[in-house]
Amino acid sequence: MATESSDKVKQRINYLREQLRHHSYVYYVLGELEIPDSAYDRMYNELKQLEQEHPKLITPDSPTQRVGAEPLDAFAKIQHKIPMLSLDNVFSEDELYAFNKRIQDRLDSDEEIEFVAEPKLDGLAISIVYQKGKLFQAATRGDGTTGEDVTQNVRTIQSVPLCLLGDDYPDVLEVRGEVFIDKAGFERLNAMARERDEKTFANPRNAAAGSLRQLNPVITAQRPLSIYCYAVGVVEGYVLPDTHSAVLEKIQQWGLPVCSELEVVNGVKGCLKFYNKILKKRDGLKYEIDGIVYKVNKFSLQNKLGFVARAPRWAIAHKFPAQEEITIVNDIEFQVGRTGAVTPVARLEPVFVGGVTVSNATLHNMDEIERKDVRVGDKVIIRRAGDVIPEIVSVVPGNRKKGARKIKMPDKCPVCKSDIVREEGEAISRCSGGLYCPAQRKEAIKHYASRKAMDIEGLGDKLIEQLVDENLVDHVNDLYSLNVTRLAELDRMGEKSAKNLIEALNNSKNPPLNRFIYALGIREVGEATASSLANNYDNLDQLMKANDEDLQNISDIGPVVAKHIVHFFAQKHNRDVIDKILKAGITFKKKPASSKASQKLAGKTFVITGTLPTLSRDQARERLQAAGAKVAGSVSAKTDYLLAGDKAGSKLARAEKLGVTVINEQGLESLLLDG
């Protein structure tokens, strides 16, 4: 039994070593990423624990006995005079207290230790050597003893000084820092990659590593790289201050960037206070961090504490809760938002990430699914940062099962079974059952009741939400079935308010046809388009029967808007709701007797600005649209008239610059009379 148990331990150790070597190679040599840091850390800590329990199984080539993988042969190799070691990690307060206790025991002192606490940036470690104040050489950490010569690439980083400031610097100065790409730069970099149909980076650290290790420095120069320096290595011809914090101040004076988010703290309590402060600020920082680094401040104490094989005894990394984890996609479903956007959502095997258990992640749209090639059953890396909705970063390669199902956008809305449409050139698919779809009901009712639509006074957003939540209104037609008794029972509604609302609903039953068309909420049918439709069709029934070709014969209606209109009226659910609205007593105001007079200003574009003497802007807009004019929101070369009142402002200045005819309210009356 003992032999069997020993064999299992050996097998597990060998497996962990193989996995760690593989992932070190992928990350350090190829500059790519297959698993998140948290997964690597767990394997490393498990191996370290097994080797401590079975010291006879430790071998010199174990990943616990050295820092990383060998550098690429494509770069010249540089030997570090002082090894660039990595740090051990702690993940809890208890582990931090144990780290502090080890320091005190080794120093044989109970005195509170002074630490420098600073954010642990998520980038690529670099060594930069200055000789006589001028940048001489730069190298990656590599395996800790041998790195890659990336001098020409580092010279392209704007924040790296080519010459040190002042004249009191060492003859030879080696500074060590972290090269990174901030969050905004990372988003820009990936946006450009998507535009070029190129592979995107999984995270900012992956992007920084890939950018710094380009063989062509011209490419590196195009990447938004930054650096923060955190230590010194070789120093010749200079006596440094006796604390780490003072050295950081000194190198900053020489023109080298140092992270501003660092403090000198006392003891474990000081460390934890800083940790919690930065954890709260984490999502608001412009760069990614994954923890806090604590370093004993006094160099005399650092020297007494010394090093272990892999890391210094006087420093530790206190890691934040993992923001990335691996899990499995159990299914992909589609959700309908309040504006009809249909979004794919991955249902995941629950996993603890970013401080909470996550079981869902957004995939944004079908382009995102296709670009990342996500399928049901895949192992994926998910990311959750702060309150941001969890998202799938990438698929873990090499784990896909045979026959894994590809994801397709459904043809019908999963909520109301209306058609799902996606316009050419757009990423988002939408449900076309806007008037009926329960997922969109609140927004549909709010739009229907708004001032420029049916103008139902007293029916505000909060009341609409309450009516829907109380199941009193499912669709807009249900508004006309409300009664005073039930309304008066609602929060902040008495009998008087209820009666006023019922009166307002009754007053809304005789709208102009154009307002009703606008109230339906057809995609891209605004006030001007609704007026054009009302002017070209005698009644609603004619409009509902119109086809694409008929609609495109109307001025300002192109193929996209025509398609939206046809799709909307083609949905049986929408027609049913409209029929119920009409049966509730809706009738339309008759058009002016002279149809020719009503089209006097057809083809003309107006913009309204300022305060008119007797008309409100809405009244002026209605009169213009009734005359066939188009009313736009901004002045352009296509504007025919600017209707200007008092305090006209910038629109008047632009109209005068473009030579647009400017009229006042009296001029409007003249146009409407004379045509």
Give me the pLDDT at residue 217, please: 81
CATH architecture designation of domain 79-319: 2-Layer Sandwich (3.30)
Contact (Cβ atoms closer than 8 angstroms) between residue 627 and residue 601 = yes
Give me the pLDDT at residue 631, please: 83
Calculate the CA 450 to chain-centre distance.
31
Q: Mutual orientation of helices 572-583 and 559-570 as an angle, nearest 10°? A: 70
Q: Is the pTM higher than 0.85?
A: no
* Residue keyed to tokens 């899990």: 327
Give me the pLDDT at residue 3, please: 63
Residues 206-220 have pLDDT tens digits of: 889 888 888 888 888
Quote the CA–CA distance of 89 and 114 in Å, as a whole number. 19
DSSP states of 228-286:
EEEEEEEEES----SBHHHHHHHHHHTT----S--EEEEHHHHHHHHHHHHHHHGGGSS
What's the chain's length in residues? Answer: 675
Domains of the chain, residue spans: 2-65, 79-319, 324-395, 431-583, 597-674
Written as six digits, the tokens of 89 are: 């990690």
Is the Cα torsion angle 283, 285, 289, 293 positive or negative in sign?
negative
* Beta strands 661-663 and 641-644, pairing class: parallel
Closest CA relative to residue 431, chosen from 337, 367, 545, 363: 337
Report the alpha-carbon angle 346-290-266, nearest 5.
Answer: 145
Residue type, 506: N
What CATH number should be reported for the domain whose range is 324-395? 2.40.50.140
Contact (Cβ atoms closer than 8 angstroms) between residue 407 and residue 380 = no
Do the domains 324-395 and 431-583 sit in the same CATH topology, yes or no?
Answer: no
Task: List the beta bridge partners of residue 228.
Answer: 178
Annotated catalytic residue, options 10, 56, 101, 120: 120
Written as six digits, the tokens of 263 are: 């403090």
Task: List the beta bridge partners of residue 334.
Answer: 344
Quote the CA–CA distance of 373 and 397 in Å, as a whole number. 11
Stretches in the chain below the pLDDT threshold 70: 1-4, 24-25, 27-31, 60-61, 65-74, 355, 385-388, 555-556, 591-598, 674-675
* Residue keyed to tokens 């606490």: 117
Quote the CA–CA distance of 586 and 580 in Å, as a whole number. 9
Q: What is 597-674's CATH superfamily?
A: BRCT domain (3.40.50.10190)
Quote the CA–CA distance of 448 and 431 in Å, as a whole number. 18
Quote the CA–CA distance of 661 and 466 in Å, as a whole number. 48
Catalytic residue flag (residue 120): yes
Closest CA relative to residue 254, chosen from 347, 175, 324: 175
Task: Please list, in sequence order, all residues whose beta carbon lies within 8 angstroms of the beta carbon of residue 59, skipping any fewer than 6 positions away.
Answer: 65
Element (H, E) at 444: helix 441-449
Topology classification of domain 431-583: DNA polymerase; domain 1 (1.10.150)
Q: What is 2-65's CATH superfamily?
A: Helix hairpin bin (1.10.287.610)
